[in-house]
Each structure stands twice: as C-alpha cells, then as structure tokens.
Chains A and B, each alone.
Chain A
C-alpha cells in the first residue's frame, strides 16, 4: 500500500469515526429534546374550580308546583305527561326536531 493510499485510508477512517460520534451525539440530543419537551407538556394542570350545580329535589310537592306553573303558563288545552331532569347538550337536537315537526303542518 503506497503512502497516498495510506493517507486516504486514515482520512476516510477518521471522517467515518467522527461522523459516527456526531451522529450518536445527535441521536442523544434528539432523545434529550423529546424527553424534556414531553415532561413540560405533561405539567400538572390546575384543577378547575367546582361549578355551582343545581340542587336535586325529588319531593312530590316540588313536582306539583312545577307542573302547576307550566300548566298556567301554556295556552290552550294540554296535558303534562312527563316531568324530567333537564339534560345539557340537547338544545340543538330539540330545536332541529321542533323545526322538522312543525315544518309540515298542513292544518296550520
């Protein structure tokens, strides 16, 4: 092996070794970045303050008062057949259903 080839072998091996070390450091750096940022994204979240929830009251007199109030407020002949707890998130559905049911009223 002549001198130039020997220099080429040394240069190539040195460059390869350096590249491998830097690539390994790069992999370590990536691991550190991912770990640190993952921890910061998992920081404890403050508990939201408790909301004032309506008090549930199932007594018969309460139901009777509500029924009487509704009966007095609604015009015309009608009958209250059910009193239930109000549920959130159904306003849109109820509104859509009302519109659908009232949009084809030939006798109106």
Chain B
C-alpha cells in the first residue's frame, strides 16, 4: 500500500496548519473577505468589474499556498518580493501572473492603460463650458488629501507612505496605484487595495453623507437653464494638447499619466472610431480585469498582513470622507455666491471617481426633485476632479520622491 501523507497531498491545508497563528487567521480572513467581495460585487454594492476578479484572486491565492524549496511557503501566482534580475527572471518562468505584475504593475503601465480608457470616456466639453466653477469645486474636493497626509505622519507612517495613502482622497484608482508605486513601493499593494475597496463603497456611502450635510430643500434646487455655446471637438482637442504638454512640462514624473489621459480625450474627439472603440472597450476592460485579478493575487496573507494596514484603513476612509465634505463645502460656496441658485450637491461629484460620483449626485437630486437636472454640471466637476487629483499627486511625487 502507498504511504501517502495527508498533509503532503493537500498542501494548502498543510501550509495553513504549519503557519503562525496570525498568518493562519489572516489567510482564513482573506478567503472570507474575497468571497464577500464577490458577493458584494455581484449584488452591485461594490464595483463588480473590479471586485469579482479581485475577490476570487484574493480567496484563491490564500487557499493555494504550498511548500516551495527550502521549506518556504509561497504560491504559483506571483512573488512581489522578488528582487534582482536573476530572481525576477526565475520567477517569471514559474509564476503565471508574474509577467503581468513585472511588466505592467511595477512600471505603472496598467494605470496608464486604465487612464487611456478613461480618457476616451471623458467629455471635456462639460469642463470647458464652466471651467471656473468646475475647477473651484475640484480644488475644494482635494481637502481629504490635504488633511490625510499630516494625519498619516501623526499616526506613525513615513511621510512618503502617508502621502501615497493621502492620494486616496483624490478618489482615482489608477492615480493611487501610480503614486504609491513611486512613493511607497513597499506597501503599494495595501494602499491600492484599500483605495479601491473604499472607492467601491462611495456609491453606497456618499448618499448618506450628502443627506446628512445638505437639507432636502437645497438638494431639490433646480439649476437655471443656461445658454451655453456647444464646445466643438477642435476646441476640446486644442485644450487636451495644450494641457498635456503644459502639465508634462511642469511635472515630468507624472507625464505618462497625463499623456494617457489626454491621448484618450484626443482619440475620442478626433473621430478615430477604431481607436476609440479599442481603448474604451478592450484596453479599459482588459486592464481593469487584470488590475483586479493581480491586486487580489497580491493579497496573500504573508505579504499583505502588516500593522500599517490598519492605519491605511483609517486614512483611506478619512481621505474620502474629507474630500466629500470639501466638495460639498465648495457647492455651498457657489450656492451662496449665486444667490441660492446653485445646487450644492454638485460638489460631491468633484471628488473625481468619474462618473460614479456624478451619477450619485444626479440620483440624490432626482429623488428629491425629479425635474432637477444637474448631471452636466456634475460631470464637469468630476472631470475637473481627475485633473486636480493628477496635479496634486504629481506635486506630492515631485516634492517627496527624494525625501
């Protein structure tokens, strides 16, 4: 009869039993969290496009831990800690997601691909019709980043890690990934996962915040009809070209992001239908899928369990909450300046996260006044939020890269 050891045969269970208690609990917790993410994504509470692959990746990577050479444990997914050319090339030949991680994550390519796709979805005409109001709201909605950075340092994080965590306040997933890869490569996985988790919650959480801070009478304000000139595609392209070159001139460190975003805008406006379809479908959704999957696979208990994660959880929710409060404050300022004609709920859309927050704003307003249409204003504020988030992140990276 064969001498089969149960634990040698089922190594996932063997590594579970052989691990230290906190890793054991962590793995079981992350498996449960992964399943929860799939469920919440399926139910529409969280963003399904990201949470379903991330949830299954997270659950599976924590189940599929095995013994490697020298008695070490690991997975066949990827090894984010591999360093040095030889080690990386070796892992590239073994771990199936390692090529995507090494060639698309570590250099920020995946963030740029997502930005390319987002660019093709942005109609900058909404900003160009109301540039001052949109930009004002977007600046106010960066309050979360402003406040979270010093609080992160007060809680014990090094300034670069605190700055990377603070970019969650910009509410832009690719931006958080890009900034944390440069400023805090050691904990970029935790920061990005926390960022995306909270961004997924904005759709469900922000309506409660708006209802708490804006009374029903103001939520129901109907925006006056404006006689605005239609912005032509040529004008949008001129703006995109000038802004891309100007921002890249100011912040070369973030120029890949600027190029990606504005290239998407230009492709959209230039009528290159083939490119637009490619970028807004295959590239955007392909990148989002692998972003979710690799982020999930990076959540292996041995890698992600760090006391800093608790701090990041606090900082993430704080950053997004303060950004929302800042946006609403900006909405109130415009309400007062316009003599009560401006709907302050539009401010919530300035927290970037296009187009989720704009849809949230319109949904809240429509609930209180079905005749009130604020979506064009909200989209303008949201697109401005993308631009200000990129500028803020670029400044932080430029200031702290060498710190």
Q: Which residues of A contact B (CB under 8 A)?
A: 4-5, 7-9, 11-16, 18-20, 22-24, 26-31, 33-34, 37-38, 41
A33 & B242 in contact (Cβ 8 Å cutoff): yes
Q: Separation in Å of the B29 CB from the closest CB of chain A? A: 31
Q: Are A12 and B239 in contact, with the CB atoms below 8 A?
A: no
Say whether, besides A23-B138, A37-B232, A15 and B131 are in contact (CB < 8 Å): no
In this complex, what residue of A is CB-closest to B390?
A19
The smallest beta-carbon distance between B388 and chain A, in angstroms, is 5
Task: Please name all residues of chain A whose beta carbon is closer than 8 Å to the beta carbon of B232 when the two chains form the complex.
Answer: 37, 41
Q: Do A30 and B239 touch across chains, with their CB atoms under 8 A apart?
A: yes
- Main DSSP-derived SS at the A contact region: helix
Which residues of chain B in 116-166 are interfacial with respect to chain A, using CB atoms and an 8 Å cutoff? 127-128, 131-132, 134-136, 138-139, 142, 145-147, 149-150, 152-154, 159, 162-163, 166
Contact of A15 among B238, B239, B392 (CB under 8 A): B392
Query: For A37, what are the chain B residues with a Cβ–Cβ distance below 8 Å?
Result: 232, 234-235, 238
Instruction: Find out whether the CB atom of A11 lies under 8 angstroms from the CB atom of B131.
Output: no
Q: Which of B146, B234, B238, B246 contacts A16 (CB 8 A)?
A: B146
Verify B128–A34 contact, CB threshold 8 A: yes
Looking at B152, B153, B400, the one whose CB has the most chain A CB atoms below 10 A away is B153
Q: Complex: how many Å from CA A37 to CA B399?
A: 36
Once the chains are docked, how many angstroms separate the CA of A9 from the CA of B154?
10
Asked whether, in the complex, the Cβ of B149 is within 8 Å of the Cβ of A33, the reply is no
Say yes or no: is B396 at the interface (Cβ < 8 Å to chain A).
Answer: yes
Looking at the assembled complex, report how far the CB atom of A48 sits from the nearest CB atom of chain B, in whole angstroms: 24
Contact A19 B154 (CB under 8 A): no
| Assembly CA distance A14 to B387 (angstroms) | 18
Tell whether, in the assembled complex, residue B162 and residue A22 are in contact, meaning their CB atoms are under 8 Å apart.
no
B235 near A12 with CB under 8 A, answer no
A sample of 16 more A-B contacts (CB under 8 A), given A8-B152, A30-B128, A37-B232, is A4-B159, A5-B150, A7-B153, A8-B150, A8-B159, A15-B392, A19-B392, A26-B243, A27-B131, A27-B134, A27-B136, A28-B131, A30-B127, A30-B239, A34-B131, A37-B238
Minimal beta-carbon separation of A40 from chain B (angstroms): 10
Q: Are B399 and A14 interface neighbours, CB within 8 A?
A: yes
Q: Across the interface, which residues of B come within 8 angstroms of A15, CB to CB?
A: 146, 392, 395-396, 399
Look across to chain B and name the residue whose beta carbon is closest to the beta carbon of A41.
B232
A contact residues around B163 at 8 Å (CB): 11
Interface residues of B in 231-266 (CB under 8 A from A): 231-232, 234-235, 238-239, 242-243, 246, 250
User: In the complex, A31 Cα to B400 Cα: how many Å?
Assistant: 32
If A7-B159, A11-B163, A24-B135 touch, whether A19 touches B149 (CB-CB below 8 Å) is no
Q: Which residue of B lies closest to A31 (CB)?
A: B131
A33-B238 contact, Cβ under 8 Å, with A5-B153, A9-B150, A12-B150? yes
Decide if A26 touches B149 in the complex (CB within 8 Å).
no
CB pair A33 B159 closer than 8 Å: no
Cβ contacts under 8 Å, A4 to chain B: 153, 159
Which residues of the partner chain B approach A34 to less than 8 Å between Cβ atoms?
Answer: 128, 131, 229, 231, 235
Contacts of A27 in B (CB 8 A): 131-132, 134-136
Tell me if B313 counts as interface (CB < 8 A to partner A). Answer: no
- Which of B149, B150, B238 lies at the interface centre, i.e. has the most chain A CB atoms within 10 A of its CB? B150
Verify B243–A16 contact, CB threshold 8 A. Answer: no
- Residue B180 at the A interface, CB < 8 A? no
Cα–Cα, bound, A16→B142 (Å)? 8
Q: Using known A-B contacts A4-B159, A31-B131, A34-B235, determine if residue A12 contacts B146 with beta carbons closer than 8 Å.
A: yes
B391 at the interface (CB under 8 A from A): yes
Question: Which residues of chain A are within 8 angstroms of B145 by Cβ–Cβ distance?
Answer: 12, 16
Assembled-state Cα–Cα distance A19/B398 (Å): 12
| Contact between chains at B135 and A23 (CB < 8 Å) | yes
**A14: chain B residues within 8 A (beta carbon):** 399
CA gap between A13 and B152 in the complex, in Å: 14
Question: How far is A73 from B239 in the complex, measured between Cα atoms in Å?
Answer: 66
Report the separation of the CA atoms of residues A22 and B128 in the bound assembly, to the nearest whole angstrom.
Answer: 16
Contact B242 A23 (CB under 8 A): no
Which of A11, A12, A14 counts the most B-chain CB atoms under 10 A from its CB?
Answer: A12
Interface: B384 (CB within 8 A):
yes
Query: In whole angstroms, what is the CA distance A34 to B236 when docked?
Result: 9
Query: Known: A8-B153, A15-B395. Is A22-B250 also a contact (CB below 8 A)?
Result: yes
Partner of B128, one of A5, A8, A19, A33: A33
Partner of A23, one of B229, B239, B250, B387: B387
